[in-house]
Amino acid sequence: MPSSLFPTIHPTSWLSPSNQFAFGFYQKGSGFAVGIWLVGTDNNTLTVVWTANRDNPPVNSKAMLDFTRDGKILLRPEQGGELLIASVKDQVSYAAMLDNGNFVLCDKDSKMIWQSFDYPTDTILGGQTLFAGTQLLSSLNESDHSSGRFHLKMQSDGNLVLYPRNSGDTAGDAYWRTGTLSNGFKYHLSLNYTGRLILINESNLKIIYHFYPGSSSSSSNNTIYRATLDVDGIFRLYSHTYNSVSLLWSALNSSCEVNGFCGFNSFCTQDDDNKTVCRCLPGHDFVDLNQRSLGCQRNFSEARCIGGKGNADFYYMSTMENMVWGDTAYFAAPMSIQECSRSCLEDCNCGGAFLKNNACEKQKPPLRYVRRDILSGYTAVLKVGLKPILKKQPVVSNTVVITSKIAMVQIVLVTSGFTILSCVALAIFGRFIFKIRVLMYKWLLKNGSLGLPKEVTLRLFTYNELKRATNGFKEELGKGSFGAVYKGSLNKGKKLIAVKRLEKLVEEGEREFRSEMRAIGRTHHKNLVRPYGIQIGVRD
C-alpha cells in the first residue's frame, strides 16, 4: 500500500483483502475525516465503524495522511501542523487493514503492536472486546460521527449501563443496565465472529449474560456483525451480508425509553405515523424548532416564590395522562391526585409531579426524562404560569408605553422652558456687563490715559478682584482727603499692591486724583509705588 493518502487523489483509502473494510479519508460535511468503514456493494454506501480524532473539525482536500518511517500515522492539514492518529515506541514494519475491520501496525515479525480495536468509538465488530473501564460513545447524527449524547459504559463493578452524556452517570440517570455485579471480578463485553454477544468473566471465561446467541449457519462466514450505540442512544446488534443489513437485537424497543432523547421540559411520544417525536410540556416552547431534541423553555415569566396558598395567584396545575417519568423524585408520599396537585402548587421547588400507584413524586425544574406511554396509566401534573397573567401583559405594556410617552413630552417641555429662560437671563446679564464695560472704556477714552507716560499701561480691574486682593479692604495703610489706601497682593501673594479707594468722588477730587497719578507715573523710586491698574464704575 502507498505510504500517503489524499482525500481526492486515488486511492483515498487502504482496503482490506476482501475489500469489505477500508481505512482512509471519507466525506464529512464539506470536508473529510479519517476512519474505518464497511464498504457497500456499490463502493459508495458507507457504514462508519471507527473515526480518528472524531471531535476535530473536518480537513479540506489539501490534507495528507502519512505513514512515517518511525511508525506513526499522521494527519497533516493544509494549514500546517500534525494530528497524531497512531504511534508506538517499537519499530513498525508495516500497517494493514484486516478483513475483520481492525486496522493494525505490526513489527518485522508480524506481531501486532497497535490496533484500532483498542480504541472503539461507537461500535465493536466481530472479534472485538469492550473491556472493563471503557465505553462506547454515540455519534452526533448519521452523517456526523463526532461525539454524541449517549454512552455505554462497561463499568468496573461488572454492570453494563447506558447513560445520557454529562448527566452524572447516577443510578437515576441510567436508562438500561444488565444488573450484573462482578464481586471483584472483571467482566467484559464480547462479540465473536458468529454474532454471539455476551458478557463474560475475564478470569474464568464464564458467560455472565447472553444478549444474542449467534448463528451456527455456515453462511455466517460471509456475514459481518457489528454492535453499535446508535445516534438515538440505543445499543443494537446488526448483521451485514453482501446485499442486506439486518437488526438482530436491541437493548430497548423505543427511543422514548432513552433518558435524554428529548431535552429539558419536553416529553417523548409517537406521532400518527408511529415516528418518535419530542413535544413541549405545557407552558413551554421549543428552544430550536429545527432541533427539537434540544428541549424547551418556559413561555411564562417565573413569579417570585411565595409558597403556600399564595402561589395560586400566579400558577395553575396542568394534568397529563399516560405519562412516565424517568428522573428521581426529591419527594414522594402517598396522596390523591388533588392532594398531589395542591402540594406541588404550594411548593416553591416543585415544577411538576408524577402520580404513580397513589404515590405523589415531586420533581424540580427543569423537568427531564419524561415520556408518554399509553399503557402506563400514570398521571403527571405540571405547574404552569397563569394564562390571564400572560394575556394582561400586552395591555400593561401598552399602558406603560403611553404613560412613558406623556411623561417624556412633559419632561421635554419643562426642560425646553428652563433652557429658554436660562438663555434669556444670560443674554440680559451679558448685555448689562457689556454696557458696564463700554462705559468704562468710554470713560478711559474721554479722560485719556490720566496723563500718564506712554510706557505706563494700566490694567482694568473689577471691584470684586480688588476686594479679594485686599482681603475685603482689611489692612489700611493710610488715608487721604478723598479716600483710604489698603494693602493687597496679586498672583497668590507674589505681587504686593496698594489700593486707593476713592469715596465721594467729585470734580475737584477727580482732578486731585489725576494729579496724583501723573506724579506717581513720572517718578521712579524704589520706595514709591507705581501705577498698575484701575477700577472704574459702580461696585460689581
Rounded to whole angstroms, the Cα distance separating 526 from 513 reads: 22
Instruction: Compute, in degrees rounded to 10, the torsion defined by CA atoms 450, 452, 458, 461.
Output: -30
* 3-state SS track over 292-335: HHHCEEECCCCCCCCCHHHHHHCEEEEEEECEEECCCCCEEEEC
What is the DSSP-derived secondary structure letter of residue 429?
H
Looking at residue 393, its amino acid is Q
SS3 408: helix
User: CA–CA distance from 148 to each of 53, 182, 201, 232 (Å)?
Assistant: 14, 29, 29, 9
> Which amino acid does the sequence have at 505?
L
- Known binding residue 500? Answer is yes
CB 238 within 8 A of CB 247: yes
Give one DSSP letter per residue of 26-94, joined into a string: EEETTEEEEEEEEE-TTS--EEEEEETTTTSPPB-TT-EEEE-TTS-EEEE-TTS--EEEE--SSPP-E
Within 8 A by CB and 6+ apart from 435, the residues are none
Q: 3-state DSSP call for residue 214?
A: coil
What φ, ψ does residue 229 adopt, rounded to 5°?
Answer: -85, 105
Q: Which residues contact 361 (CB under 8 A, 6 or more apart)?
A: 325, 329, 331, 332, 353, 354, 355
Distance of CA 288 to the CA centre of its chain: 16
Q: Position 451: which residue type? A: G
List the beta bridge partners of residue 489: 496
Q: Residue 518 in 3-state DSSP?
A: helix
Residues at the annotated binding site? 500
Residues at the annotated binding site for ATP? 500
